[in-house]
Structure 1
């Protein structure tokens, strides 16, 4: 991980989400989990799709067993899900437009971190696929903190590791629970709403909304600094 480029301007760091923000993988989690339910002969509760977005591994694996009814223990449900995700990653991770470039643009301005609900093995695979390992200083999985998104724990821990005040950090998110997590951490939040279960207009009104990562520029950051 990079240790160069001190922060400039009023923001001390920027923290990116990964699934759905940098990698087009948010929907893949849903596909894999629905597949497990189908294998176990279960109907899929539609509300479970959005409920699990941003949850830590311990949280969503309990949801799978206790709410969806997946067979076995939460640990077994987690392993089946992560194994399915690893298989998808092996076939190639689809990157969102300008994902790598936007991270590098921001790294020229301030330290960069990642706060993701994915387990560490998938965060590392995503960083490798994006080719940004030289500029990402810290990354945090919500496996490593007490609570997943929408709680602020992952963002707060990433800011701590970056040596930054959360109130002087930017966050880049896509999902409803991720946005709530970043806002709860006190970060200035940039939302890139997905087509897959987009956040409500009410929640987006609390963020700076951009249509794509191509709009994440030094000029935008300067404007947010006011």
Structure 2
């Protein structure tokens, strides 16, 4: 039998397919100020906390607003996009609902306002004992902080928990925290080889994550 007692989900790229939405919104935003992403901006921002990516856009990309203003501007636009249509990944809600043998948590780089909105709209708020934003810990992914905090709030150890991630920084974060990592690589933004290598299980789609699959970890 698996010793896994809890499963910690990422949000973007695992439950909702928003990486392209984030990129579109942030690129359009910086373009309004006559700026453009640096060559590595997109990869770096995947997993960063709100404070970190807003500082990147303000300080490195050169948007002439404070990081706090950048965050407010972009989060407002993302919230409007979510209201128009929530891009749930097919099968994700069913997977969440199927894991009744495990305690569930969520560790996301999205802002708290977006996490709460997504879970409520998807009807799965009640499925998670713990939900955390990287806003609420010292460092965003790839640092392990958000996963360590989620495990602590569950009253468990990293050895008791599995994580479901899609991005390079997310995989690195969960692995650094000591969780058993399940990778669901994003088709448009695939993780780096070194990050993917840290996963104990790699699946081609979220629907492949079953209680039986977790029991093999």
Give 1:115 deviation, angstroms. Answer: 0.2
Give 1:9 deviation, angstroms. Answer: 4.7
Aligned length: 216
Counterpart Cα distance in 2 of 1:139 and 1:149 = 15
Contact 1:12 1:165 in 2 (8 A): no
- Uncovered stretches (5+) of structure 2, i.e. residues with no partner: none
Give 1:118 deviation, angstroms. Answer: 0.6
Q: Give runs of aligned pairs for residues 149-188 of structure 1, distance below 5 A.
A: 149-188=141-180
Please tell me whether residue 195 in structure 1 is matched to residue 177 in structure 2.
no
Q: If the length of structure 1 is used for normalisation, what is the TM-score?
A: 0.92
Contact 1:167 1:185 in 2 (8 A): no
Please name the residue that 1:128 is paired with.
120
Q: Give runs of aligned pairs for residues 22-37 of structure 1, distance below 5 A.
A: 22-37=15-30
Contact 2:171 2:198 in 1 (8 A): no
Q: For 1:179-198, what per-residue CA distance to the aligned partner results, in whole angstroms no more than 9, with x for missing partners?
A: 00000000000000002221
Please name the residue that 2:81 is paired with.
88
Give 1:60 deviation, angstroms. Answer: 0.8
The CA RMSD over aligned residues, in Å, is: 1.2
Q: For 1:85-124, what per-residue CA distance to the aligned partner results, in whole angstroms no more than 9, with x for missing partners?
A: 0110110211002110111112x11110000011111001
Of residues 126-135 and 172-181 in structure 1, the stretch that sits farther from structure 2 once superposed is 126-135
Counterpart Cα distance in 1 of 2:89 and 2:177 = 25
Counterpart Cα distance in 1 of 2:169 and 2:193 = 14
- Aligned-partner SS, 2:113: helix
Please tell me whether residue 142 in structure 1 is matched to residue 134 in structure 2.
yes
